[in-house]
Structures are given as structure tokens and as C-alpha cells.
Amino acid sequence: MDPDLISKKDLLLETGISYGQLYRWKRKGLIPEEWFVRKSTFTGTETFFPRDKMMARVERILSMKDEDLSLDAIADAVTPDLSGVSMTAEEAVERGVVSTVAAEAYAVTHPDTGSLRYGDLLSAYVVDALLKTGDVTADEGRLVLETLEGSLPGFEGREVDVLVARKMGVAMCLIVSSSAEAAFDQGTKVVARVNLTEMTEALSARLK
């Protein structure tokens, strides 16, 4: 079995939570639907989860419950509604949301934009993370911005990765399911891959 996954049975055993708790958390939006992965096994069909993400999420929820927070309060903390957030690029840099390089990359493709709303900030934040790896150039960062803005709405609510690949100096950006393996021809190299859910949670923590 894939070592990156944990079965529902093992999750309940290792964390001490109950079946009822798990599905109450799911209904409240504390556990993303995409994390419930159905797979065929020799005993039938079972539910699995991404091990590291799920263990970290359960630990966080339990620690917040120890503080006597309600499930609604925990849901607000884990997945806050930031749709109304808006700030200028200068404010985003001052608050440490994105670097100057990422803000400048955004400004090049959006010269007339005064304020960045949450979706804009998320795109710039993803680009910033990719640029900081040193594996993605500024031009490729702008390509990522264009790809996110053009394609991301179609993936809303799904667990996806942002992938940058390069062949003979020509870059491409793709949005793929986090569970999918991306296969290219021999001359293409994947230079960076980030998980959008992790980016969203990290950005949300900075904006709170």
C-alpha cells in the first residue's frame, strides 16, 4: 500500500478519534472531501487519506478542541472566509504576505490593478513560493500567474498541485490533481510542484 496514505481504520486507531467524529468534521468542512480517497483492496473498497496532511489536521483540530472551541469556531480557524480581503501590492509586501519580487511579477501582468483581492493574493503567494525555490525564473512566475488566473476557477474545491515543467528552455505550467502522477517525454523536466491546499492554508495563516 502507498506509504503516503493511511487507511480509515488505522487513522481511527492511531488518533483515538471515532467514526462519528471523523464524519462530523467532514460535514463541517474541517476535512476536505478530496482527502477521502476510495481504493480497491483485497477485502473490497476502503477509504484512505493523505497520511501527513490528515495526521496534521487531526492534531490541529484536537488541540483546538482542548481549548473548548466549538466545531464552528474550529472550522472558521481552519478554513476562514477571506473572500473580502483586499490590499495593495505595497501593503502585501509590508505585511510579509509576498516578496517584492512576486509583487513586481504581478504588477507586470496587471499594471492597472490597484488592490489585490484574496484570489489575486493567492496567485501571487504561489508565485512567490515557487520563485523562492530558485528553480523558477521571473518569466516562468508570470506564466504561473496567467495559468492560475485562467484555469484555477475550474478546479475550485478540488485538491490540486501547481506544476512547472521545462523542455529545451521552454516552460509550461499545469494544474493537476494532487493524487495524479504527471508523465512527460524524456526531454521534459519538472522543476517545481506545490500543493494549492497547503499554499491556501499558509496564506490564510498570514492574513488572519
Domain ranges of the chain: 5-78, 86-207
Q: Any idea which of 10-14, 61-65, 170-174 has the lowest mean pLDDT?
A: 61-65
pLDDT above 70 (res 133):
yes
Q: How far is CA 179 from the centre of its chain?
A: 13
Cα separation of 53 and 41, whole Å?
A: 22
**pLDDT tens per residue, range 38-78:** 888 777 788 888 888 889 889 988 888 777 777 777 776 66
Q: What pLDDT was estimated at residue 166?
A: 92
Please check whether the domain covering 5-78 is classified as CATH 2.30.30.240.
no
| Nearest Cα residue to 98 out of 143, 130, 74, 56 | 130
Beta strands per DSSP E along 18-124: 37-41, 44-50, 86-87, 116-117
Cα separation of 95 and 208, whole Å?
A: 11
Mean pLDDT, all residues of the chain? 83
Are 155 and 177 contacting, i.e. CB atoms less than 8 angstroms apart? no
pLDDT above 80 (res 157):
no
- C-alpha angle 189-194-196 in degrees, rounded to nearest 5: 140
